[in-house]
Amino acid sequence: MRGFLNIDKPPGMTSFDVVRAVRRAARMKRVGHAGTLDPLATGVLPVAVGDATRLVDELVGAPKRYRAEVLLGVETDTYDTDGEVRARVDASAVTLEAVRAALGAFVGEVMQTPPAYSAIKRGGEPAYQAARRGDPHEMTARPVRVYALEALALAPEDGDGGAVRVTLDVACGQGFYVRSLAYDLGAALGVGGTIAALRRTQVGPFIAEEAIPLDRAVALLESGDIEGLLQPLDAVLGHHPSARLSEDEVVRARNGLIFALSDLAVDSLTPSSTQIRCYGPDGALVALLRPKGDPGHWHPFRVFPPDTMAARQSGDALTRISQLP
């Protein structure tokens, strides 16, 4: 069994809690996730199973999208409502127009300081462990990219005098912390801010509308009724050019032999291409190539064994799994 699960992570669980649940249900050790979500957060968590764990790095730099509920007028030590409240300010005078005006400074390539309560390591220790110990790491600003940022709505927060809740849609790149955005936006408006709710709606090709709740995924894995549950290995490779290999070339690829680019029929190759995904005559993913040595020569750096359990639909990239191993 190999491929990607598009899991809709429930609140209150860590990303590794989800991995453990999938491992138990699938009775497999080779399971990993791409893109950590805080326990408070919900939404898209791609989970790699089997050979797909070798492709998790393809999602590291993938664009991500979030729907965030930011509480203005409240500041916490963790930058979310799971933390300890440090300050409260009357934010009732803040308008949606003021929020939208402030957001302009956070779009594009910007410098952002990660939260003290984060998984960033220093000296091998995660920052959140040092923060809980009372000796937080000094976090330094680093460049991040925000592709789009929109304030959708603003309303008074019931039962929290003076606080207002603003709903944001955030499209961002690698290493961006929405919790830091909430804190920085609150600071820019002079009232403080913290995350009240966070839902990830997209990671690369995986979207929330197609995500499956964890409990349902676990039930299907345990029952063996998993046809159509897994997305194929190449679900995360669509941005790379592709080539179709002959039977002889499949053997060469699986033996790690170098290919001359002139001998390959490659679709959508550009001067900036760094990988080529190669398929056999049956449409199954065989290998990834990257440049090697002399110009025009590419070698297999990642090779995948035949998938004897998958039946590939003609002209389609969906893998259909028929049984548990």
Q: How far apart are CA 314 and CA 230, in angstroms?
A: 18
Does residue 252 share a domain with residue 156?
Answer: no
For residue 223, which phi and psi values (nearest 5 degrees)? -85, -15
Asked if residue 215 and residue 199 are part of one domain, the reply reads no
**Is-contact 141 114, C-beta < 8 A?**
no
CA dihedral over 77, 78, 84, 86, signed as positive or negative: positive
DSSP three-state, residue 152: strand
Query: Is 325 part of any domain?
Result: no
161: amino acid identity, one letter: G
pLDDT tens sequence across 70-114: 999 999 999 999 999 999 999 999 999 999 999 999 999 999 999
Record the pTM.
0.88
230, part of any domain? no
DSSP H or E stretch at residue 76: strand 74-76
Domains identified in the chain, total number: 3
Q: Which residues of the chain have pLDDT under 70?
A: 308-325
CA atoms of 49 and 52, how far apart (whole Å): 5
Q: Do the bridges between strand 42-49 and strand 193-203 make them parallel or antiparallel, or are there none, so unpaired? A: parallel
Instruction: Examine the domain organization and report whether 195 and 260 are in the same domain.
Output: no
Positions annotated as catalytic residues are 38
Do 49 and 120 belong to one domain?
no
CB 323, CB 225: distance < 8 Å: no
Assess whether 115 and 128 both reside in one domain: yes
Q: Which pLDDT belongs to residue 77?
A: 93
pLDDT number for residue 267:
92
- Residue 188 shares a structural domain with residue 130: yes
Residues of the domain holding 27:
3-61+204-223
Q: Are residues 76 and 168 in the same domain?
A: yes
